[in-house]
Amino acid sequence: MEDIVKVFFKCTKWQREETSDPLICPYSYFCDSVYPGDYSAAVDVSIFLLSAASYAFAVAATLLDLAGESPAVDWTQRLRVLLPSGPVVLPALLLALVNGHRTGAAIPLSSIGPAFFQLVLLSALAFENPPERTLRHVLLVVSSISGILHASFRLDAVILPYYTGLDALLRSTLSGECPTCVCRQEALVVGGNLVSYRGWSTATFAVAGTLLCRFGSLLCGEEKIGVAVKSAVEALAWVLIGRDWVDFIGDLPPGELMEMAAHVAVCLLMSLQILRRACSLLVWLGAMTSL
């Protein structure tokens, strides 16, 4: 049964066939082709360890900033490359997503991938790059935006077959005619109808737009209109990421402890960042009232 479930999650094409009982089985499907076998478990573990280390650094940097330790600023600036949206972790995640359907020997990227990608989006919003008018900064911003958009597209290529198989597994009955032959009361669609999350979403474009606005304000100056537009786009990105997280948690099927733990970890970092920004706002208001 475990092998059959694995085929459901790695199926690349569900073939509809004529049904012999339109009342009990109006829609009949079987898996016509599957992805090749998994990579070594070492690949899964490497992806997980890199993401976990990057997450730990993001949490540590946030806590140090909240504590107001002056040495933390220099420390975080030197190690920004370790952030989830930095020039080390983001390309590594993108490389993993290129063949993400072949992970799963230990930690399936098809189910954990959304949490990793939300961590990248959250990191891009929470940690701004130092304002520098240099070629290095231009390349960093362009590569970050391109990496986020490419990663979202690659993520969908990994998770949509998984979501389709999840729908086929949970909302169908096995007909017994073949290992993957199922009977359904409704048509099977790409991505299924159980989980609505998509990597290629408005939240992704809002984050990319925020990075672009930050870069534009750096080049053109911090005029009031530019600051207002940047702040509005950034606020929208925060709202959309929060909405995606809530929707994903609500759509998780029962028993998916690994996915739940990953999204709770993302929620912890999100809460710390909200607290960080609230503290900064209070400090700014205190400074304004003292004038």
Provide the pLDDT for residue 72: 45
Is 258 among the domain residues?
yes
Is 288 among the domain residues?
no
Residues forming a β-bridge with 29: 16, 182
Residues sharing a CB contact under 8 Å with residue 230, sequence separation 6 or more, in sequence order: 210, 213, 214, 216, 217
Provide the pLDDT for residue 291: 58
Provide the pLDDT for residue 254: 65
45 token code pair: 């573990």
Is 291 among the domain residues?
no
Helix H or strand E encompassing 184: strand 182-184
Is 112 in contact with 143 (CB distance < 8 Å)?
A: no
Shortest CA distance to 188 belongs to which of 48, 73, 17?
A: 17
Is 99 in contact with 145 (CB distance < 8 Å)?
A: no
Is 143 among the domain residues?
yes
Residues forming a β-bridge with 173: 183
Structural domain boundaries, residue 227 = 2-282
**Model-level pTM?**
0.86
Is 38 among the domain residues?
yes
Is 278 among the domain residues?
yes
Is 290 among the domain residues?
no
> How many separate domains does the chain show?
1
Q: How would you write the pLDDT of the chain (291 residues) with one tens digit per residue?
A: 777 888 888 888 899 988 777 888 889 999 988 887 788 888 888 888 888 889 998 888 888 877 765 544 455 566 677 888 888 889 988 888 888 888 877 788 888 888 899 999 999 988 877 666 677 777 888 888 999 999 999 999 999 999 999 999 888 888 888 888 899 989 999 988 888 888 899 999 999 999 988 887 777 766 655 677 888 888 899 999 988 888 877 777 666 778 888 888 888 888 888 888 788 777 767 776 765
Provide the pLDDT for residue 71: 46
